[in-house]
């Protein structure tokens, strides 16, 4: 069959970054009762946002404002930048894809951590980039090694998540600032801060949009509880943001989602509640792990990495949890894959979860 794919696309594998829980449910014929595998928020979105979205559904026949003017204005104010320094699109994934497209020609080197965010790697492969990885340092992304690799490879793009996914760990602002400061000319750091709201205050270095060598990625998918709505944004130098505007789908964003995001920003109390509830939920997981004699890594996100001893045990644990109607995921590569990634859940769901967890562990 002669389909005239480009060489890059012709050579792509038919793998996907993640298998969705719906696929697993279809395979097993059994629905999950607790879905804590995709770092979705247990606390949902702001009720005020929801109310505004119900109202906005009436105008679903209209395309959204392709400039996302109102939402960019609100975000610019919040972050103390100009609206020309913000790009909004359908989730951070979409923006990462555009960034790779903007910077990477086939064969160009791209640096990330071995075991880092698979969707970023998917995009790098998708544009024919040559992914170069550095190992984690323990359970932390190794900022120094990432920087050294970027410099020595003269890579136009390097990815770093802080807090990190899948381990939930976090570097202090000073470390991140050192990384930012070291990024060479002709390179861009994609600093993924999807989980930043869950980290200690002061974790994010000051935003400096005069620096074209760093882009900050934020999202409404995690703390704001709007993963299914797909709204993420990038903050950076206006010349880089212009690159997004030259390549993005100008009418690609959902109108109701934008209105929900805008309304969410007005509900900072809700965000604070989620942060508090999530911290308590993390603590429940830490306590449970300690009681079970398992090491759990202190987390700056909405999940906790728990060491179950080996890749084999982790794999079996994920399967055992699925049997017990709990959807969970684990890191994909050595040496991180002796951990499982336990998402936070509401207090009222914890007994069910804990029972399933202990039962699964006992079944190994």
Beta carbon nearer to a second copy, 327 or 350: 327
Among 33, 251, 312, 334, binds a second copy (CB under 8 A): 251
Q: How far apart are CA 341 and CA 327, in angstroms?
A: 10
Of 15, 27, 17, 14, residue with least CA distance to 327 = 27
Q: Is 29 in the site for a second copy (CB under 8 A)?
A: no
Q: Which stretch binds a second copy (CB under 8 A): 77-85, 158-166, 169-177, 229-237?
A: 229-237
Q: Is 151 in the site for a second copy (CB under 8 A)?
A: no
Beta carbon nearer to a second copy, 22 or 291: 22
Degrees, nearest 5: CA angle 51-194-344: 75
Beta carbon nearer to a second copy, 150 or 203: 150
Beta carbon nearer to a second copy, 103 or 306: 103
Question: Which 76-115 positions form the footprint of a second copy (CB under 8 A)?
Answer: 90-91, 93-94, 97, 101-105
Q: Which stretch binds a second copy (CB under 8 A): 109-117, 159-167, 238-246, 336-344?
A: 238-246
Question: Which 264-303 positions form the footprint of a second copy (CB under 8 A)?
Answer: none
Q: Is 126 in the site for a second copy (CB under 8 A)?
A: yes
Beta carbon nearer to a second copy, 17 or 182: 17
Give just the sign of the alpha carbon dihedral 178, 180, 186, 187. positive
Query: Based on the number of CB atoms within 10 Å of its own CB, is 131 exposed (0-12), middle (13-18) or buried (19 or more)?
Result: middle
243: CB partners within 8 A, 6+ apart = 98, 102
Q: Enter the DSSP assignment of 220.
A: S
Judged by CB under 8 A, the number of residues near a second copy is 85
Q: How far is the CB of 300 from a second copy (least distance, A)?
A: 20
Q: How far is the CB of 2 from a second copy (least distance, A)?
A: 5
Beta carbon nearer to a second copy, 115 or 343: 343
Contact call for residues 244 and 233 (beta carbons, < 8 A): no
Q: Which stretch binds a second copy (CB under 8 A): 159-167, 201-209, 236-244, 308-316?
A: 236-244
Q: Which stretch binds a second copy (CB under 8 A): 13-21, 74-82, 136-144, 351-359?
A: 13-21
Among 163, 225, 331, 343, binds a second copy (CB under 8 A): 225
Degrees, nearest 5: CA angle 244-216-332: 100
Q: Is 202 in the site for a second copy (CB under 8 A)?
A: no
| 87 three-class SS | strand
Question: Which 157-196 positions form the footprint of a second copy (CB under 8 A)?
Answer: 157, 185-188
Query: Based on the number of CB atoms within 10 Å of its own CB, is 65 exposed (0-12), middle (13-18) or buried (19 or more)?
Result: middle
Beta carbon nearer to a second copy, 10 or 362: 10
Beta carbon nearer to a second copy, 196 or 256: 256
Q: Is 35 in the site for a second copy (CB under 8 A)?
A: yes
Beta strands in the chain (DSSP E): 34-35, 86-89, 109-113, 130-134, 157-161, 188-192, 214-219, 232-235, 303-307, 326-327, 339-343
Among 134, 194, 253, 318, binds a second copy (CB under 8 A): 253
Q: How far is the CB of 17 from a second copy (least distance, A)?
A: 6
26: CB partners within 8 A, 6+ apart = none
Strand partners, 109: 130
Write down the residue that tokens 């050595």 correspond to. 334
Compute and round to an integer the Cα radius of gyration of the chain: 20
Question: Which 42-71 positions form the footprint of a second copy (CB under 8 A)?
Answer: 42-45, 50, 53-54, 57-67, 69
Q: Is 247 in the site for a second copy (CB under 8 A)?
A: yes
Beta carbon nearer to a second copy, 201 or 210: 210
Q: How far apart are CA 19 and CA 108, in angstroms?
A: 28
Q: How far apart are CA 211 and CA 81, in angstroms?
A: 13
């Amino acid at each position: 069959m002669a389909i005239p794919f480009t060489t890059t696309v012709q050579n792509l594998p038919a793998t996907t970054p993640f298998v969705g829980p719906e696929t697993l449910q279809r395979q097993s014929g059994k629905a999950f009762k607790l879905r804590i595998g995709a770092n979705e928020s247990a606390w949902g979105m702001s009720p005020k946002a929801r109310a505004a979205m119900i109202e906005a559904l009436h105008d679903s026949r209209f395309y959204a404002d392709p400039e996302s003017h109102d939402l960019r204005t609100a975000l610019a104010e919040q972050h103390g930048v100009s609206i020309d320094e913000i790009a909004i699109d359908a989730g951070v994934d979409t923006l990462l894809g555009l960034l790779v497209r903007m910077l990477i020609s086939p064969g160009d080197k791209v640096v990330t951590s071995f075991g880092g965010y698979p969707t970023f790697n998917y995009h790098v492969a998708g544009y024919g980039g040559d992914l170069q990885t550095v190992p984690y340092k323990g359970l932390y992304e190794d900022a120094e090694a990432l920087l050294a690799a970027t410099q020595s490879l003269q890579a136009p793009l390097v990815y770093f998540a802080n807090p990190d996914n899948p381990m939930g760990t976090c570097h202090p602002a000073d470390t991140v600032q050192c990384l930012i400061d070291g990024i060479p000319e002709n390179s861009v750091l994609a600093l993924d801060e999807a989980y930043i709201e869950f980290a200690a205050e002061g974790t994010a270095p000051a935003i400096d949009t005069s620096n074209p060598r760093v882009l900050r990625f934020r999202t409404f998918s995690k703390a704001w509880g709007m993963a299914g709505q797909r709204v993420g944004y990038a903050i950076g130098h206006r010349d880089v943001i212009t690159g997004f505007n030259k390549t993005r789908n100008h009418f690609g964003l959902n109108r109701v989602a934008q209105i929900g995001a805008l309304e969410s920003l007005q509900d900072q109390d809700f965000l604070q509640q989620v942060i508090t509830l999530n911290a308590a939920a993390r603590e429940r997981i830490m306590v449970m792990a300690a009681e079970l004699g398992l090491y759990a890594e202190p987390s700056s996100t909405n999940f906790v990495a728990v060491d179950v001893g080996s890749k084999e045990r982790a794999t079996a644990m994920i399967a055992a949890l699925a049997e017990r109607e709990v959807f969970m995921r684990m890191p994909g590569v050595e040496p991180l894959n002796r951990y499982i990634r336990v998402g936070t859940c509401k207090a009222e769901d914890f007994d069910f979860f804990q029972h399933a967890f202990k039962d699964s562990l006992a079944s190994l």
